[in-house]
Chains A and B, each alone.
Chain A
Amino acid sequence: MRTALSWPELSRSLADLRHLLWFRAATVRRPRAVVLALAALTGVTVAAATLPAAAPSPAELDGWVRPALAAIVVAAVGAAVAAGGGRELLARDPAAVHPIAPVTDHLGALVLAPLSAGWLIQAWALLALAAASAGPAAQPVALAWLLAVTALAQAVGWAAEWLRRRRLPAGLALPLAGAGLAPTAPVAAVLVDGSAAGRGLTAAALLLAAGVLAALGGILAVAAARRAPRDEVRRETRLHPARPTPASDLAMVRRIDRASVWRSVPLRRGSLFLGVAPGAAALAGGLDWSMLVLVPGLVASGCVLLFGVNLWCLDGRGLLWRESLPVPPRTVVAARVWVLAEVLLGGGLLTLVLGSLRAGRPTGPEALAVVLALAAVVGQAVSAALRWSAAHPHAVDLRSARATPAPPLAMVGYSIRLAVATTLTGLLLGGLCVAGRVDLLLAAAAVLLTVSAVRIVRAARRWADPVRRAAVVAVVAA
């Protein structure tokens, strides 16, 4: 008898995975850009794994290896649990007509897992640390760790989804992440000081664990697929009693846009996760205010990826009808900007509140730097979101908890560009605060906010052009 993980089924799932990857590659809109992006990612990975070995490194770097191993576990598991089983190779609706097995779906999510800025940045950091503290010989252990942790995260993600679909708290699956946190100490020791044989054995053991965890993930994916996605069904069948009609066009449009965000499972779950997780990490790490100034940038660049990079997809095919309504385009843009800014500010503030619990009382300049950093990164994220949404729209249904507003590689590009810009902003404002130059701090923030405001106004003007708008509508409502 064939079972979900019998060899014939596994073989078929691997063949289907190959077909789906081919389909994704064949339907890429800008193949040259994809090739360049993949080459760039490979180049950065090779550089991270080799270049630090050539430079002298302080001995305290060795102590950072274990936290780096643990950070990858936390980030990968968190992302997989929030995404309800990871990314989809094919979106749910178009995939529904094809006989795609849950194991194929699981393998696809495993393949796509590294295509996220969170995973990549953590992986580059680990490879660089390994190279700096132990040289290239330690890299097989680091790479095997990345594979094992990715498989573990995917399995925990499916376990969480299975629990959700059985009406149990998804958080009950989180202790499984302990299987990744427990071996960090011995793996770090082998990675830093191990012999060649020890490293070889550790890498082999980790690869074996990756295989076992990938198989376990397949079993959990099959179990989860037997039940309907409960969160989505609950949101779609819930009653929303009528409220009085708002007094202005902007308020009415904003209400619909807010509903589109907070009634979407992935957006609601992602916003809460991105608000709480970095704050909890800051709280656990006991970050001081000079470090907290960097946190809003990370939150903003994460939150904007939930829907900001493809703002008009919130309306789905309804954008066609909304475009026929008699409302000035600037009102529509203002409402969308307002709602996005709300999500970014809310996430940033929640993180800062959590982080501040152990950071002590800030000095005046520190408080000012944090507030200005939050405002500046929100401005940067909003202006980028408006520009990218108009330039590269995608037809996406954000109904599924696993949906993302753009293809995986595009998401990596967006997140890295934003993370770099917002981190530099945080470093600049934090540095000026530490230097005690409040005057320059205010001036720098004013410049950054002005640049963002100008870009937002320009993007709104471009949206007023009916030809540009029609092109976006045609894609989003396709």
Chain B
Amino acid sequence: MSSGGVEVTGLRVRFGPVEAVAGVDLRVEPGQALALLGRNGAGKSTTMRVLAGVVPPSAGTARVAGYDVRAAPLEAKRMVGYCPDVGGLVPRATPWEHLQLSARLRRLTGWEERGRLLLEQLDLGGVAHRVTAGFSHGMSRRLSVVLAALHEPAVLLLDEPFDGVDPIGVEATFGVIEDARARGAAVLVSTHLRDLAVQVCAEVAVLRGGTRTATVPAGFMSGDEGARAYRALLA
């Protein structure tokens, strides 16, 4: 068993005839934030879903905080905080009920104060007791980040956390990522927004066609030079 973080080796995921992930290797150390970039269909979200325990791997291994997601799914899920790429909210439950569900299933005690603080931090305090069906896309994204961060997970998986989120919300999400990194969590951020990814992550991995094509320091991907380099990796 490894010590922690995220460790993906030779990961493959097939959906019938389609191979969504075709041999990805990744490593995120505790206290490190890694951005996953790539075009639509590159395998980013599927890789995140495997790490979150939602999709079983077809081949290869995926370990989070030392637990194999296939061999010890419940233990792995306890270690992970996951913000899915789409929706991610039960439409007729309130944000507070989402927090209660997560806290109860993870045996958290005294979580209420942190829950309130996170909701305030992401500007959701005023809607904590309304069902999420009427939420805007940005509000839903922010609540998904709160849910992923509530239990201070050892591995924080954020899939498109900035999509449709206003600048204040983006800053608050940056705060959540920084906090997680500072307390030693491994953070994996999948996004299409390269400029935001390089601000908050130390390294960037680029996926293409279900495989990893490069892992580079975030500095190489910033600015106009970074944009050109990124386009070259996607081509």
Interface positions of A (Cβ within 8 A of B): 233, 235-242, 245-246, 249, 252-253, 255-256, 259-260, 263-264, 314-318, 320-328, 397-399, 466-467, 470, 473-474, 477
- In the bound complex, residues from chain A placing their C-beta under 8 Å from that of B54 are 320, 323-324, 470, 473
15 contacts between A and B (CB under 8 A): A236-B133, A236-B134, A240-B130, A245-B104, A252-B101, A256-B101, A259-B92, A320-B86, A320-B87, A322-B90, A327-B74, A328-B74, A397-B91, A470-B55, A473-B54
Known A245-B100, A252-B100, A324-B54; contact A239-B129, beta-carbon cutoff 8 A: yes
Q: CA separation between A259 and B95, bound complex, in Å?
A: 13
Taking CB atoms, residues of chain B closer than 8 Å to A328 are 74
Q: How far does the alpha carbon of A315 sit from the alpha carbon of B100 in the complex, in Å?
A: 16
In the complex, the 10 A-B pairs of residues with the closest C-beta atoms, listed nearest first = A317-B87, A318-B90, A236-B134, A326-B77, A263-B92, A324-B52, A324-B82, A320-B84, A466-B56, A252-B104
**B window 65-88: CB within 8 A of A:** 70, 73-75, 77-78, 80, 82, 84, 86-88
Q: Separation in Å of the B174 CB from the closest CB of chain A?
A: 22
A238 touches B130 (CB 8 A): yes
Q: Do the beta carbons of B90 and A237 come within 8 Å of each other? A: no
Q: Is the CB of A399 within 8 A of B133?
A: yes
A115 CB → nearest B CB, Å: 26
**Cα distance, A40 to B56, chains bound together (Å):** 40
Q: Which residues of A contact B91 (CB under 8 A)?
A: 260, 315-318, 397-399
Q: From residue B106, how far is it (CB to closest CB) to chain A in Å?
A: 6
A321 touches B88 (CB 8 A): yes
Interface residue? B170 (CB, 8 A): no
A164 to chain B, nearest CB (A): 18
* Complex: A228 Cα to B55 Cα, angstroms: 39
Q: Is the CB of B89 within 8 A of A321?
A: yes
B85 and chain A: residue at smallest CB distance: A320
Q: What residues of chain B lie closer than 8 Å to A264, measured between beta carbons?
A: 92
B93–A318 contact, CB under 8 A? yes
User: Are B105 and A317 touching (Cβ within 8 A)?
Assistant: no
A325 to B81 CA separation, bound complex (whole angstroms): 9
Bound-state CA distance A316–B82 (Å) is 17
User: How long is the Cα–Cα vector from A242 to B70 in the complex, in angstroms?
Assistant: 35
Q: A242-B96, A260-B92 are in contact. Are A324 and B104 (CB under 8 A)?
A: no
Closest chain B CB from A403 CB (angstroms): 11
Question: Which of B55, B91, B92, B144 lies at the interface centre, i.e. has the most chain A CB atoms within 10 A of its CB?
Answer: B92
Residue in A closest to B73 when the chains form the complex, CB atoms: A466
Q: Given B49, B77, B87, B93, which contacts A256 in the complex, CB threshold below 8 Å?
A: B93
The answer to whether B86 and A477 have CB atoms under 8 Å apart is: yes
Q: How far is the CA of A237 from the CA of B126 in the complex (A)?
A: 12
Other-chain residue from B77, B105, B144 in contact with A249 (beta carbon distance below 8 A): B105
Taking a contact as CB atoms closer than 8 A, the residue among A237, A252, A317, A321 that contacts B130 in the complex is A237
Contact at A317–B96, with CB atoms within 8 Å?
no
B100 CB, nearest partner CB in chain A, Å? 5
Residue in chain A with minimal CB distance to B51:
A324
Q: Which residue of B lies closest to A331 (CB)?
A: B105
- The CA-CA distance from A426 to B103 in the complex, in Å, is 45
Closest chain-A Cβ to B58's Cβ sits at a distance in Å of 9
Any A CB within 8 A of the CB of B53: yes
Least CB distance from B50 to A in Å reads 10
CB distance from B151 to the nearest CB of A (A): 10
- Is B163 on the interface with A (CB-CB < 8 A)? no
Which residues of A have CB within 8 Å of B147?
Answer: 321
Task: Find out whether the CB atom of A255 lies under 8 angstroms from the CB atom of B97.
Answer: yes
Instruction: Say yes or no for B121: interface residue by CB 8 A criterion.
Output: no
Q: Which residues of B contact A233 (CB under 8 A)?
A: 134
How far is the CB of B147 from the nearest CB of chain A, in Å? Answer: 7
**Does B172 reach chain A (CB closer than 8 Å)?**
no
Q: When chains A and B are docked, how far (Å) is the Cα of A233 from the Cα of B134?
A: 8
Verify B90–A240 contact, CB threshold 8 A: no
